[in-house]
Each structure stands twice: as structure tokens, then as C-alpha cells.
Amino acid sequence: MRVTQLLIPTTKETPNDATLASHIYLIRAGFIQGVGSGLYNYLPLGKRVLDKVQNIVKEELNKADCQEVSLGFVTPASYWQESGRFDKYGKELLRFKDRKNNDFVLGPTHEEMMVNLVKQSVKSYKALPLNLYQVNLKFRDEIRPRFGLMRGREFLMKDGYSFHASKEDMQREFALMEATYKKIFTRLGLDFRVVEADSGAIGGSGSKEFMVLANSGEDTIVVCQECEYGANIEAAIRAEKSSDMEPPEALYAKFHTPDTTTIEALSAFFHVDPFYLIKTVAKKALFDKGESKIVLFALRGSDELQEVKACNSIDANELVDISAQELAQIGLVAGYMSPTLVPDGVEVVFDTLLKDASHLICGANEAEYHLVGIDLKGYEATYRDIVAVQEGDSCVHCGNKLHYTKGIEVGHIFQLGDRYSLPLGANFLNEQGKAQPFEMGTYGIGVSRLLAAIIEQHHDEKGCIWTKETTPFALSIIISNIKDEAQVTFAQEIYQKLTESGIEVLLDDRKERFGFKMKDFELIGTPLALIIGKNLADGFVELVQREGLSKESISVDDTLSRVMDQVCY
């Protein structure tokens, strides 16, 4: 296509709220346009890339025998009430009423809708397995929409759902989807890692995330440098930890410990490794129907609380901070709390590393006092893994050191089991003629987020560098001097030949300075440009690789074959 006929509103202006390269370049290069917080229009270039990404996703899913459907975006709230998620999902779920006062939600994900679709149309095991997917809009009223397409409120997701007669078959499909997702992200040209994940509000057990490795990623992932182990910090585990330092030998006693409200201060006061101190963190846990309670999480002083794990440990919807005043009202002394001396009605969860532990020091639940000689051998309590794995901890699989890295979550696959089919009464008749709930899996890809993820991984200080399968055009042809007839004629000839061979070419035929057009090429970022300049008179043109901007002079006669070599693969 010709630039003179296209809407590509490139600009030098960086949007005020943009900090990430992908956000800045997608707007500056005219791929997208902001409409409101977390809402975007796709302009012609953006739509082309979006379609390419979608097509790759669809091609690979179709090869794996998944079938495409398209579900309504507006969902009757009754579906969500039946599954119990209407209350659980929180404020991200946009709820509204129609003129007849019926409740609706804008689908943030579609488990309920898809289960109902299958419930109405599949009765027997003979129709299983089934894997249905759609690429459709989702709406989540995100608390902090930001980073452009990375975290929008309205965004495009591929969401797939599979239905099976047995758990084994669901697990087979889960493995097939993992392999299919790997093919998709490889074709997109992404450097990614598959990691163990938390299952969040969707529920179910066994889930993996696909993380595009990028420093700007919002997720912290824990990876082992020696083996394959990788997990989102929300789900990461580690080999059991110990301390090289001597434990504080003491009989149970109360000690006056002024000014020791932090682990550091307490550790200095007793000259003891924080490993032997108990850190007690108080949170208010929020549950369905506006219910809440105060929960204490007890862990070793050398560890940090992982909030998602902590939240899951008590099956809460959310944990929120609580002030010292609020704690005082129920008889808890901030800075000196004890997980063993607790007012009635306060729940306590201990980290598993504290099970049967001894030689510990913790607060006395009295200002300026701590208890020494705490022994938890045989102490009955709730023990859960609630700590954040730290860099340098040991891998549970191979014992080598774990490291942190940052990732952008572009895909998430779950083994759901009967988490939705059971409450929604979605049954089929098994081989014995008995009704049984479907075993399900669910599989998501952030299609619009992928545009941002690709650019986060592929850009330089001048602009985008699209990967071969995602670029809006395979090649840009830049006519250096539009007044030079020979340049125009040659460019048009090459343009026509390439276009006829099915190559997507962007012909910059604007009456602009060469430097200006070159800047736009660098900003838009097709992988390749052909510059038709003054050397044409001597029989040469220039081929520029966007990655690294290396230039090569090639003879006019070789132009077509050289370009074809580079863009066909």
C-alpha cells in the first residue's frame, strides 16, 4: 500500500502518561489511539498487526482441533450468580442494568457462558472431548489501567475452554495446549518461559503461565538457572531453608525489648539470626457478601509474606492492610504481636517452615516485650506455604540457586476440573449411562497485550522492530526524491512486482524529505526497507535492516531476488 493513501498519523509527541517503549511507540507510530483510560482504537497499522497475531493464534489452535465460536459480550448476571463469581470477582467486573432492571455484566472472561453453551448442546460422552475458543473483547474495570495495550480495561483475549469425560483426558488436552501455545509464541518471535502459576479467581488447580521475558514486565518470576523450573512468585516454591547460625538457646520467658518493632531491630537486640524470629503480619481478609476478618500470618523473620499465597491460604478474595489503631481496638499490639497469644476471633496461619520449629522469639502482644524460648513442636495450628521465594533460595528440584526475572503474562492455561460444571449443573451421560459433570480446562491468550509484549522485546531508541510474522508490512520502499522520475518509476516497478507475488509492501511515496521518511520507517519498524536514492543512476539501491539499521548497497538487477530472499521464509 502507498503511504499517501493510508492513515498513519505518526508524531514526535510522547503521550503524557506513557512510560513504556511499547506504549510510546504504538501511539507515536500511529498503531493505536487512546480513547479513555484503558480504552484504545486500533488504526490501520495496529489492526493489521492485531489480525496477524490473531491469525497465528487461530491457525495453531485449529491445527490442534480447537473450534472457533463467538459468544455474547454482554452476559446476564444470573450466569455469574449461579457460579458464585458475581460476588467474588470484585470491582473489576462491570455490572449494569437494562431498562427492565435486569442485571448484566460485561464479560471479563467467559467460563459461565461457555459452560452453558455446552450444557445446552452436549448430552453424551460420545460428543467429547471438545475444545471451543473465541477471540473476543473482554472488559475488566482494572484499578490501574496503564502501559497502553499492556493493561487495558477493554482488551482482546483468546479464551478457550475444553470439555472432557475424564480427568486424564483433560490433562492430555492441557499438555496439548501447552505445546500449542509454545508454537504460537515461537512463531510470534518471542523469548518466553512457561512457569507454574497461581490459579486466582478462576479457581481450579494446576495452571501455567506464558511469560514474555522483559524488564518492564509486571510479574516477578522465579527461575532456576540450572534446571527447567520456573514459577510466578505468587506460586513459586523452594527447597527447605535453614540457618548456619547458632539458635538462641533459652527457656520460655518474657523479655523487656524496648524499640524493637522491626525484625532488624529485634535481631540486633538479641544478636540473633532473623531466621529464629517470628514475623507476625496482620491483614484484613475480605470475603463474599462484604464479610471480613482479621488474620495473622506468622513466618520466619528472614522471610517475606507472599500476599497471593496468604490470600489463598484462607480462601479470601483479597487482603488489605490494617492500621495500628484498628489492631489496638481488638487487643493486638502492633510491632509486638504474637501468633500464639491471640484475641478470640482472630485467625492465625503459620508458614510451613515454622512447623515443629523451636528456639524461636516472637512478640508478647504487649508493648516493648517479646517472648523467648518459643517451641512449636507438636503445636496445633494451620500451616501453609505463605512465603515469597527469595533470590538465592534453593531450587526444590535440583538444589541450585533461584533467581528473579521479570515477565509479561501473555498466556495462562488452567486445569479446571468440575469447578464450573458442578455448580452450573453441566452434566453429560457417561459410558455407563450415568450423569457426570464435565471435566474442564481453560486457556487464555492476551491478544492485544501481545502487541505491547512484542514491542517491549523488540525495539530500540528509535522505534518498533516488528518480528517477521507480526510486521504490518514485510518491507518499506522509500523513494528518496519524489521529484526524480527514475526513482519513482523504479520504485513503482519493484512495488508492483512484489505486491503481485503476495508480498505486503509499504511504499513511501510522500512528498517529504528523505530524512523525515527514514524517521517514520524507524518508528514504524518494518523489518526491512529498500531505499531508492541517487545511486540509482549508477545502478544501485540500498537495503536496510531495521534491526541494527545496517545498510547494504545492492545492484538494481538483483533487487527483486534479494528482497524476495529476505522476506520469504
The footprint of ligand ATP (CB under 6 A) covers 109, 140, 142, 151-152, 155, 157, 200, 409-412, 444, 446, 448-449
Q: Which stretch binds Mg ion (CB under 5 A): 34-42, 119-127, 356-364, 411-419?
A: 411-419
Q: Which stretch binds Mg ion (CB under 5 A): 259-267, 408-416, 473-481, 530-538?
A: 408-416
> For the chain, what is the total number of helices (H) and then of strands (E)?
13, 31
Rounded to whole angstroms, the Cα distance separating 430 from 428 reads 6
- Using the minimum distance from each CB to ligand ATP, give the nearer residue, 57 or 353: 57
Closest among 260, 486, 275, 272 to 367, alpha carbons compared: 260
Written as nine digits, the cell of 479 is: 523513494
Q: What is the CA radius of gyration of the chain?
A: 29
- Using the minimum distance from each CB to ligand ATP, give the nearer residue, 104 or 414: 414
- The binder of 151, among Mg ion, ligand ATP, none, by C-beta within 5 to 8 A per type, is ligand ATP
Neighbours of 566 (CB within 10 A): 16
* Unique residue bearing C-alpha cell 473489576: 92
CB of 153 to Mg ion, least distance (A): 16
Rounded to whole angstroms, the Cα distance separating 137 from 343 reads 48
Given CA atoms 403, 408, 413, 418 in this order, what sign does their dihedral have?
positive
- Using the minimum distance from each CB to ligand ATP, give the nearer residue, 157 or 353: 157
- The binder of 411, among ligand ATP, Mg ion, none, by C-beta within 5 to 8 A per type, is ligand ATP
- The binder of 141, among ligand ATP, Mg ion, none, by C-beta within 5 to 8 A per type, is none
162, 130 contact by CB (below 8 A): yes
> How far is the CA of 486 from the CAs of 5, 93, 415, 534, in angstroms?
22, 60, 62, 10
Does 412 bind Mg ion (CB under 5 A)? Our answer is yes
Does 449 bind Mg ion (CB under 5 A)? Our answer is no
- The binder of 142, among ligand ATP, Mg ion, none, by C-beta within 5 to 8 A per type, is ligand ATP
- Using the minimum distance from each CB to ligand ATP, give the nearer residue, 139 or 473: 139
- The binder of 112, among ligand ATP, Mg ion, none, by C-beta within 5 to 8 A per type, is none
The terminus-to-terminus CA distance of the chain in angstroms comes to: 21
- The binder of 131, among ligand ATP, Mg ion, none, by C-beta within 5 to 8 A per type, is none
- Using the minimum distance from each CB to ligand ATP, give the nearer residue, 339 or 417: 417
Q: Which residue is nearest to Mg ion (CB)?
A: 412
Does 158 bind Mg ion (CB under 5 A)? Our answer is no
- Using the minimum distance from each CB to Mg ion, give the nearer residue, 131 or 442: 442
- Using the minimum distance from each CB to Mg ion, give the nearer residue, 412 or 449: 412
Residues 6+ apart with CB under 8 A from 455: 21, 22, 25, 26, 464
> Phi first, then psi: what are they for 192, rounded to 5°?
-135, 170
- The binder of 169, among Mg ion, ligand ATP, none, by C-beta within 5 to 8 A per type, is none
Angle of helix 21-28 versus helix 447-457 axis, rounded to 10: 100
Rounded to whole angstroms, the Cα distance separating 368 from 336 reads 7
Rounded to whole angstroms, the Cα distance separating 525 from 37 reads 26
Q: Which residue is nearest to ligand ATP (CB)?
A: 446
540, 487 contact by CB (below 8 A): no
Rounded to whole angstroms, the Cα distance separating 183 from 188 reads 9
CB of 411 to Mg ion, least distance (A): 8
Total of chain residues touching Mg ion, rule CB under 5 A = 1
Type of residue numbered 255:
F
- Using the minimum distance from each CB to ligand ATP, give the nearer residue, 155 or 466: 155
Q: Which stretch binds Mg ion (CB under 5 A): 239-247, 263-271, 405-413, 430-438?
A: 405-413
- Using the minimum distance from each CB to ligand ATP, give the nearer residue, 393 or 409: 409
CB of 308 to ligand ATP, least distance (A): 10
- Using the minimum distance from each CB to ligand ATP, give the nearer residue, 437 or 444: 444
- The binder of 449, among ligand ATP, Mg ion, none, by C-beta within 5 to 8 A per type, is ligand ATP
Q: Can you point out the beta strands (E) in 292-438?
A: 292-300, 318-320, 347-351, 360-363, 369-374, 382-384, 402-417, 427-429, 435-437
SS3 label, residue 544:
strand
CB of 248 to ligand ATP, least distance (A): 41
- The binder of 204, among Mg ion, ligand ATP, none, by C-beta within 5 to 8 A per type, is none
CB of 444 to Mg ion, least distance (A): 7
- The binder of 482, among Mg ion, ligand ATP, none, by C-beta within 5 to 8 A per type, is none
> How far is the CA of 368 from the CAs of 254, 335, 365, in angstroms?
10, 9, 9
- Using the minimum distance from each CB to ligand ATP, give the nearer residue, 149 or 465: 149
SS3 label, residue 510:
coil
Type of residue numbered 193:
R
For 435, the enclosing helix (H) or strand (E) is strand 435-437
Q: What is the largest CA-CA distance in the chain?
A: 96
CB of 412 to Mg ion, least distance (A): 4
- The binder of 428, among Mg ion, ligand ATP, none, by C-beta within 5 to 8 A per type, is none
- Using the minimum distance from each CB to ligand ATP, give the nearer residue, 449 or 517: 449
Cis peptide before 9 (omega within 30 of 0): no
Torsion of CA 333, 336, 338, 343, to 10 degrees: -10
- The binder of 75, among ligand ATP, Mg ion, none, by C-beta within 5 to 8 A per type, is none
Residues at the site binding Mg ion, with contacts judged by CB under 5 A: 412
